[in-house]
């Protein structure tokens, strides 16, 4: 089966052991000769067709209902859940991660256990939110940084290194010669480009004498619809096109590979890697250890595979989906799998005879469907913790009550998404979702009139559609129609109180309209609903600075920096507070960090120059002056950035895109799903 997926690589150097290899991949051999030359196919599944929940499962060996990360944004992996990196670190390994995109930045909690977590992209938090998938670190850059880390690590320690490749993900930006060779098939081209980067990485390991002695795992977090079942991207459905993924494991000093047919899950990888390295896995890990299969070459033991998507519920207000895959044995040589998708109209597929999931057998095999459904519900009940986890911080009773009727299970602490089959079936709304994707593309191309027409078409049929309201409010704000934007975001909050950006953007419009008390209330609500996002405490902190409330502002800005240490605007605002208090040395340190994160920020350069002047560092003052570019050059730089970031939430200090009321970017709503 051809799996449409991007690649993530885990490299582990452990004490050598004599082990055969399990080699598996579902990549197109035409696009990925490096991986295909050394691998066979395996039936591996992601637990979710979304980046953050899938990676949380991959790195913890737990299912989403256990680790609590059910979607993105608004979720952060709790610190009390043991991770793969922590297990290696506690066993004396040097640990590092090199990311290809900020969609997995440390503010989402995946950095637990890593000595070095390279999520430094030279872009501000606001810029990352404005164009999350647009900010990519090319695969060859990921490889160069990974090899550089290997060269500077202590040679006496074993290491665990995670390379995150994001290239086979919209928007496609192929370098030559791939752009020319794959002009009509850019997704295949991104796979080929990433494959070439992997070849470069493997060659780098060989030159350093590390390849043979290293354990290497290659996998992916989700697939891509590319039109299957009407889905052009991912996250919406849980058909195999978006959850069937490649998986390769090369133990140290491996001589050959094995092909496995039994379905396995990405939660199986963490305990398997630990046991292959001779490390005891945490009791919290729910995956099946595949070590014996790898060592002996026999099929993995039969165990169920689970997957879910909460995206239709949390972003669109429709029904969530979950899947359960059980292996079937027709004879000793013929093995297959049944897959049940639980939905308002359930689906059952025999993956051996119907790999494209085109023939729903629920009506023809009702008894079999009922058995698998009961197995699914028993599996979730047996494996769920006594207290439903939440990857969010506790919220107020008012917020819990507000969310309870919108698909959340309002328990003590933070609300948790609850599975149901009483909402609209995503199968019936896929065309509406594709309309929203079309509006997103028009929005990104600044074809605002076309996007507005599509959004109004959607809202005519579904007046409470969250993404449509979010986009419409954004366009109204970009058109300086602040009051209309305010009304639209108020509708959004009422329609989708579980939707984190609703409170943030309503707080922003309240600020522009001068309603500072209301703005503060909405920023605080945004902090409750999306505790992983540094923007709400940063925006509220800057609002309080303007009101002269320095002590609470300093605490909020410090919290924003805890979530994102490179947030330029939080660094700048906190530097201003310290400068007002005449703590010039401390202020200089913060402002220098801000300028190092983004040298294009003129306001930061001016503030730093002032602080240097107070410190009598006159040479540094001149350096700051030299960094200031001519006005025309600054304007050109602004035009070259798709949605630049704001330094203040008020019009007089706007540094935003042309026509943006109040300055700064509005996060592209569709880019929140990655």
Work out the average pLDDT over 393-409.
Answer: 40
For residue 428, pLDDT beyond 50: yes
Q: Which residue has the tokens 């984190």?
A: 500
Place 250 in a pLDDT band, splitting at 50, 70 and 90: confident
Place 169 in a pLDDT band, splitting at 50, 70 and 90: confident
What percentage of residues in the chain have a pLDDT greater than 90?
54
For residue 573, pLDDT beyond 80: yes
Within 8 A by CB and 6+ apart from 214, the residues are 11, 12, 13, 205, 250, 252
For residue 403, pLDDT beyond 50: no
Phi (first) and psi of residue 444, to 5 degrees: -65, -30
Fold of 438-672: 1.25.40
Place 657 in a pLDDT band, splitting at 50, 70 and 90: very low
Residue 177 burial (C-beta neighbours within 10 Å; 0-12, 13-18, 19+)? exposed
Distance of CA 285 to the CA centre of its chain: 21
CA distance 118 to 102: 10
Work out the average pLDDT over 271-280.
Answer: 94
For residue 460, pLDDT beyond 90: yes
Yes or no: say if 72 and 281 are a contact pair by the CB < 8 Å rule: no
Query: What pLDDT was estimated at residue 644?
Result: 26
Query: What pLDDT was estimated at residue 43?
Result: 72
Query: What pLDDT was estimated at residue 597?
Result: 79
Work out the average pLDDT over 453-459.
Answer: 96
3-state helix, strand, coil in the chain (%, to 5): 45, 10, 45
How distant, in Å, are the alpha carbons of 213, 475, 513, 573 from that of 647? 49, 20, 18, 9
Number of Cβ atoms within 10 Å of the Cβ of 166: 25
Distance of CA 393 to the CA centre of its chain: 19
Domain boundaries, the chain: 8-300, 438-672
Residue 168's nearest CA partner among 218, 224, 121, 216 is 224
For residue 298, pLDDT beyond 90: no
- Count helices and strands in the chain by DSSP H and E runs: 27, 15
Within 8 A by CB and 6+ apart from 616, the residues are none
Work out the average pLDDT over 239-262.
Answer: 85
Place 12 in a pLDDT band, splitting at 50, 70 and 90: low
Residue 564's nearest CA partner among 117, 78, 51, 53 is 117
Distance of CA 258 to the CA centre of its chain: 32
Identify the weakest region by mean pLDDT among 99-103, 196-200, 227-231, 354-358.
99-103
Query: What pLDDT was estimated at residue 13?
Result: 54
Identify the weakest region by mean pLDDT among 316-330, 410-424, 571-585, 651-665.
651-665
Reported as a single tens digit per residue, the pLDDT across 589-610 is 999 998 887 777 888 989 999 9
For residues 331 and 144, which has the higher predicted lDDT (pLDDT)? 144
Strand partners, 218: 9, 248
For residue 237, pLDDT beyond 60: yes
Place 241 in a pLDDT band, splitting at 50, 70 and 90: very high
Residue 176's nearest CA partner among 197, 201, 193, 198 is 193
* Cα pseudo-dihedral 97, 98, 103, 105, rounded to 10: 60
For residue 258, pLDDT beyond 60: yes
Angle CA 97–98–101, to nearest 5? 120
Yes or no: say if 557 and 575 are a contact pair by the CB < 8 Å rule: no
Query: What pLDDT was estimated at residue 110?
Result: 94
For the domain bounded by 8-300, which CATH number is listed?
3.40.720.10
Number of Cβ atoms within 10 Å of the Cβ of 602: 16
Within 8 A by CB and 6+ apart from 3, the residues are 26, 27, 220, 223, 244, 245, 246
Beta strand 44-45 pairing with 264-265: parallel
Reported as a single tens digit per residue, the pLDDT across 473-499 is 999 999 999 999 999 999 999 988 877
Query: What pLDDT was estimated at residue 316?
Result: 84
Yes or no: say if 50 and 307 are a contact pair by the CB < 8 Å rule: no
Phi (first) and psi of residue 105, to 5 degrees: -60, 165
Query: What pLDDT was estimated at residue 371?
Result: 96
Number of Cβ atoms within 10 Å of the Cβ of 392: 23
Residue 120 burial (C-beta neighbours within 10 Å; 0-12, 13-18, 19+)? middle
For residue 154, pLDDT beyond 70: yes
Distance of CA 276 to the CA centre of its chain: 28
Question: Helix, strand or coil for residue 287?
Answer: coil
Place 248 in a pLDDT band, splitting at 50, 70 and 90: confident
Strand partners, 349: 339
CA distance 205 to 199: 10
For residue 171, pLDDT beyond 80: no
Query: What pLDDT was estimated at residue 131?
Result: 44
For residues 650 and 576, which has the higher predicted lDDT (pLDDT)? 576
Reported as a single tens digit per residue, the pLDDT across 22-77 is 333 333 445 666 665 444 346 789 999 999 999 999 999 999 999 999 887 678 89
Phi (first) and psi of residue 599, to 5 degrees: -70, -5
How distant, in Å, are the alpha carbons of 165, 330, 500 from that of 6? 7, 33, 27
Query: What pLDDT was estimated at residue 313?
Result: 87
Mean pLDDT over each residue of the chain, to the nearest integer: 81
Strand partners, 217: 10, 249
* Sequence-ordered alpha helix ranges (H) in 497-630: 500-512, 516-529, 535-546, 550-563, 568-580, 584-597, 602-614, 618-627
For residue 386, pLDDT beyond 80: no
Q: Which residue has the tokens 């290491």?
A: 159
Query: What pLDDT was estimated at residue 41?
Result: 43
For residue 396, pLDDT beyond 50: no
Following DSSP, what letter does each residue of 349-401 receive, concatenated?
EETTT-TT--S--TTT-HHHHHHHHHHHHHHHHHHS-SS---SS----HHHHH
Query: What pLDDT was estimated at residue 243?
Result: 96
Question: Helix, strand or coil for residue 251?
Answer: coil
For residue 129, pLDDT beyond 60: no
Yes or no: say if 54 and 46 are a contact pair by the CB < 8 Å rule: yes
For residue 151, pLDDT beyond 90: yes
Long-range contacts of 282-287 (CB under 8 A, 24+ apart): 282/61, 282/82, 282/87, 284/60, 284/61, 284/62, 284/66, 284/81, 284/82, 285/60, 285/61, 285/62, 285/82, 286/61, 286/62, 286/63, 286/66, 286/383, 287/61, 287/62
For residue 235, pLDDT beyond 80: yes
For residue 203, pLDDT beyond 90: yes
């Amino acid at each position: 089966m051809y799996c449409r997926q991007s690649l993530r690589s885990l490299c582990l150097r452990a004490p050598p052991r004599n082990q055969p290899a399990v080699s598996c991949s579902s990549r197109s051999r035409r696009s990925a000769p490096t991986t295909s030359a050394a691998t066979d196919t395996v039936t591996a599944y992601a637990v979710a067709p979304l980046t953050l929940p899938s990676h949380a499962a991959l790195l913890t060996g737990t299912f989403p209902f256990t680790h609590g990360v059910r979607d993105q944004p608004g979720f952060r992996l709790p610190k009390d859940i043991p991770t793969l990196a922590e297990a290696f670190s506690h066993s004396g390994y040097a640990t590092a991660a090199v990311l290809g995109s900020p969609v997995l930045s440390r503010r989402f909690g995946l950095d637990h256990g890593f000595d070095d977590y390279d999520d430094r992209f030279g872009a501000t938090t606001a810029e990352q939110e404005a164009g999350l998938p647009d900010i990519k670190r090319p695969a060859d850059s990921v490889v160069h940084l990974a090899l550089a880390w290997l060269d500077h690590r202590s040679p006496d320690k074993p290491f665990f290194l995670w390379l995150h490749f994001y290239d086979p993900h919209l928007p496609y930006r192929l370098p030559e010669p791939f752009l020319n060779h794959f002009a009509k098939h850019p997704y295949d081209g991104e796979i080929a480009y990433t494959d070439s980067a992997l070849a470069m990485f493997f060659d780098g390991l060989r030159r350093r004498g590390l390849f043979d002695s290293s354990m290497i795992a290659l996998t992916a977090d989700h697939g891509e619809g590319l039109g299957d079942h009407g889905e052009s991207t991912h996250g919406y459905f849980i058909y195999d096109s978006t959850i069937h993924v490649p998986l390769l494991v090369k133990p140290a000093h491996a001589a050959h590979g094995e092909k496995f047919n039994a379905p396995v899950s990405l939660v199986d990888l963490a305990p398997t890697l630990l046991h292959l390295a001779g490390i005891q896995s945490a009791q919290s890990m729910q995956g099946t250890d595949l070590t014996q299969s790898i060592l002996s070459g026999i099929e993995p033991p039969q165990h169920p595979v689970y997957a879910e998507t909460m995206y239709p519920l949390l972003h669109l207000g429709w029904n969530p989906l979950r899947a359960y895959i059980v292996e079937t044995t027709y004879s000793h040589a013929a093995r297959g799998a049944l897959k049940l998708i639980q939905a308002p109209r359930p689906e059952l597929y025999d993956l051996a005879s119907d790999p494209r999931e085109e023939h729903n057998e629920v009506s023809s095999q009702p008894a079999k469907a009922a058995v698998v459904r009961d197995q699914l519900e028993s599996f979730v009940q047996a494996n769920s913790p006594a207290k439903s986890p939440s990857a969010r911080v506790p919220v107020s009773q008012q917020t819990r009550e507000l969310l309870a009727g919108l698909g959340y299970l309002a328990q003590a602490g933070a609300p948790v998404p609850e599975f149901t089959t009483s909402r609209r079936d995503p199968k019936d709304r896929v065309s509406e979702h594709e309309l929203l994707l079309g509006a997103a593309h028009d929005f990104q191309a600044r074809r605002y009139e076309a996007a507005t027409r599509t959004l109004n078409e959607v809202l005519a049929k579904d007046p409470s559609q969250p993404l449509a309201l979010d986009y419409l409010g954004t366009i109204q704000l970009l058109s300086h129609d602040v009051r209309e934007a305010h009304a639209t975001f108020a509708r959004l909050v009422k329609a989708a109180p579980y939707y984190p950006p609703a409170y943030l953007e309503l707080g922003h419009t309240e600020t522009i309209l001068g309603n500072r008390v209301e703005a503060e209330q909405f920023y605080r609500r945004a902090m409750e609903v999306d505790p992983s996002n540094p923007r709400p405490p940063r925006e509220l902190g800057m609002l309080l600075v303007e009101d002269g409330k320095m002590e609470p502002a300093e605490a909020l800005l410090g919290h924003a920096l805890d979530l994102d240490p490179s947030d330029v605007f939080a660094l700048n605002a906190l530097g201003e507070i310290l400068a007002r208090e005449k703590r010039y040395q401390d202020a200089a340190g913060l402002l220098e960090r801000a300028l190092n994160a983004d040298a294009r920020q003129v306001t930061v350069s001016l503030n730093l120059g002032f602080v240097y002047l107070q410190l009598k560092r006159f040479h540094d003052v001149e350096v700051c002056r030299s960094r200031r570019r001519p006005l025309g050059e600054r304007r050109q730089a602004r035009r070259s950035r798709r949605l630049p970031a704001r330094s203040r939430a008020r019009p007089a200090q706007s540094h935003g895109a042309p026509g943006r009321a109040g300055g700064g970017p509005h996060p592209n709503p569709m880019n929140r799903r990655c």
